[in-house]
A and B are shown apart, each in its own frame.
Chain A
């Protein structure tokens, strides 16, 4: 009977963890403050997790990242600036936290999953600087991508041709 209890615990544990991760991310998306940021550039797909676009996010601030991996921050409100130390609430009401990695600031919002059949069309738009991402930023600085915008229109609407002209 003891063994059965442990087996139940072992089987329930990963399900609960994954549920927790889902709830955390859903809460972050619904309760965070939204920003729209332009994106540029692209990279090829990831075989493990599907197909995605990779791009550089344009924060509108001069970001000078060293090659080594260190924590860094971009303040979004009231004004945009880059910092290696966590901004204080007095100077910055909302920031995005990330890492400097090989000279680039990365906040985990540098890629977007899309169906393979649309990758070429969407990539071309991003290369032509017509792409933006809609992100949600929590009070702790965690940023999540909510949507990809092409010519200021959600990508699904753009693909289906239902964007207002």
Chain B
């Protein structure tokens, strides 16, 4: 609201709107947003804590109560919660519906825990979360806010990644477990882009479109940071090159390529982005895949190349190039905050390169002085050139 107040004040001073108009706008916005987001925020937080509390109580092991009683009460509560959600579907107090739905969905997880406890099921926690995410998805889709779908999406991505990494298929085809994770962190961002493009094409699941777009960005950043650390830290992903079978490369890349191509086909056919935006997204996905191909192929340390002998800078080269592409795409899409955040990340990575190169000097006072001056210089440069960079990006869009 402070932002709106300062904008209204500025516009009134410049004569763009009258004082009465500014007052009307302020009153209208006050009525609309008022404390709704605070109410919703606290209620949903309370619902989550309530759900977690119920799960904890179940985990406290009521060994003295017969199992059939525990299960009976649990299913009664679950059914009761479900009925309450249904009865409040058209309620004027929309937060009641949302809170009840959140508690219902979390109680499903609690029930899974109770069943596992009663029948002494030996599964891993990520298996429970994966089962929960699969069976609760239909209910989550009826959420009218972003909180529950976001929570669901994060849990689904993490749990399905662990299920995949620990599956027989992955264990058989990726001889070393770390390779499974290279595959997973490559495919997850591409999968999120695919979901975003697919739902956009169907014009369904508006909330999930927004969430998948944000998760694509977050998981991409996570992937680039992980790749950078692996490459810069010379992490060896497998001990023997010959341990990887002849078809492992195809298994590794085929799903990623299929998803990437499918996403791009949708984006290009539906013209969801401008021409330059589509080019940038294509380059981004291809570079993302190329980067991980490089990580995998760099493991053959018997041969020499620039990338292999200069690991610490190859990681920086790849991540900075990727971040530059991503920031241009963010600019083209009009995502100003993401663009600015990405440019900050690029700056930080340049700084780390500097420290990597000048490692010894930073131990001395001279090094620290130079480092301090570099940081101040970069911030000054950023403040002076920020608007200029944003204008270049906007021109690309036109």
Q: Verify that A and B bind, or say they do not.
A: yes
- A: residues with CB less than 8 A from B are 3-4, 6-15, 17-19, 21-22, 25-26, 29, 46, 48-51, 68-71, 99, 106-116, 144-146, 156
20 A-B residue pairings within 8 Å (CB atoms): A11-B86, A13-B138, A14-B138, A15-B75, A15-B79, A15-B82, A21-B115, A22-B115, A48-B125, A49-B117, A50-B59, A50-B60, A50-B113, A51-B59, A68-B172, A69-B171, A71-B168, A108-B122, A115-B60, A116-B61
Chain B minimum-CB-distance residue to A25: B119
Q: Known: A18-B108, A48-B125, A108-B123. Contact between A8 and B75, CB under 8 A? A: no
User: Is B18 in contact with chain A by the CB < 8 A criterion?
Assistant: no
The answer to whether B61 and A51 have CB atoms under 8 Å apart is: yes
How far is B122's CA from A106's CA once the two chains are assembled, in angstroms? 9
Query: What chain B residues lie within 8 Å of A51 (beta carbons)?
Result: 59, 61
Q: Known: A11-B139, A68-B171, A115-B61. Contact between A22 and B71, CB under 8 A? A: yes
User: Is B166 in contact with chain A by the CB < 8 A criterion?
Assistant: yes
User: Is B199 in contact with chain A by the CB < 8 A criterion?
Assistant: no
How far is B61's CA from A50's CA once the two chains are assembled, in angstroms? 7
The answer to whether B142 and A48 have CB atoms under 8 Å apart is: no
The answer to whether A50 and B82 have CB atoms under 8 Å apart is: no
How far is B79's CA from A8's CA once the two chains are assembled, in angstroms? 11
User: Is B378 in contact with chain A by the CB < 8 A criterion?
Assistant: no
Query: What chain A residues lie within 8 Å of B60 (beta carbons)?
Result: 50, 115-116
The answer to whether B122 and A110 have CB atoms under 8 Å apart is: yes
Q: Known: A50-B113, A109-B122. Contact between A14 and B171, CB under 8 A? A: no
Chain B minimum-CB-distance residue to A117: B61
Query: What chain B residues lie within 8 Å of A111 (beta carbons)?
Result: 120, 122
Q: Min CB distance, A65 to chain B, in Å?
A: 13
- Give the A-B contact count at a CB cut-off of 8 A: 110
User: Is B39 in contact with chain A by the CB < 8 A criterion?
Assistant: no
Top 10 closest pairs, chain A to chain B, by CB: A108-B122, A10-B138, A50-B59, A69-B171, A145-B120, A11-B82, A25-B119, A14-B135, A115-B61, A48-B125
The answer to whether A48 and B59 have CB atoms under 8 Å apart is: yes
Q: Min CB distance, A121 to chain B, in Å?
A: 14
The answer to whether B115 and A109 have CB atoms under 8 Å apart is: no
How far is B142's CA from A13's CA once the two chains are assembled, in angstroms? 13
The answer to whether B59 and A49 have CB atoms under 8 Å apart is: yes
The answer to whether A29 and B119 have CB atoms under 8 Å apart is: yes
The answer to whether B142 and A50 have CB atoms under 8 Å apart is: no
Query: What chain A residues lie within 8 Å of B43 (beta carbons)?
Result: none
Q: B168-203 toward A: CB 8 Å interface, digit per residue (1/0)?
A: 100110010000000000000000000000000000
Name the prevailing secondary structure of the B interface residues.
helix
User: Is B116 in contact with chain A by the CB < 8 A criterion?
Assistant: yes
Q: Min CB distance, B245 to chain A, in Å?
A: 13
How far is B85's CA from A49's CA once the two chains are assembled, in angstroms? 27
The answer to whether A25 and B75 have CB atoms under 8 Å apart is: no
Q: Min CB distance, A43 to chain B, in Å?
A: 12
How far is B216's CA from A152's CA once the two chains are assembled, in angstroms? 55
Query: What chain B residues lie within 8 Å of A50 (beta carbons)?
Result: 58-61, 113, 117
How far is B63's CA from A68's CA once the two chains are assembled, in angstroms? 37
Given contacts A115-B60, A144-B119, 4 further A-B contacts (CB under 8 A): A50-B113, A69-B171, A144-B120, A156-B63
Pick the contact of A14: B61, B108, B141 (CB < 8 A).
Answer: B108
User: Is B208 in contact with chain A by the CB < 8 A criterion?
Assistant: no
Query: What chain A residues lie within 8 Å of B128 (beta carbons)?
Result: 48-49
Query: What chain B residues lie within 8 Å of A13 (beta carbons)?
Result: 135, 138-139
User: Is B136 in contact with chain A by the CB < 8 A criterion?
Assistant: yes
The answer to whether B139 and A10 have CB atoms under 8 Å apart is: yes
Chain A minimum-CB-distance residue to B122: A108
How far is B108's CA from A99's CA once the two chains are assembled, in angstroms? 28
User: Is B322 in contact with chain A by the CB < 8 A criterion?
Assistant: no
How far is B205's CA from A40's CA once the two chains are assembled, in angstroms? 51
Q: Min CB distance, B308 to chain A, in Å?
A: 28
How far is B111's CA from A50's CA once the two chains are assembled, in angstroms? 13
Query: What chain B residues lie within 8 Å of A108 (beta carbons)?
Result: 121-123
The answer to whether B115 and A18 have CB atoms under 8 Å apart is: yes
How far is B120's CA from A50's CA once the two chains are assembled, in angstroms? 11
Interface residues of B in 55-101 (CB under 8 A from A): 58-61, 63, 71, 75, 78-79, 82, 85-86, 89
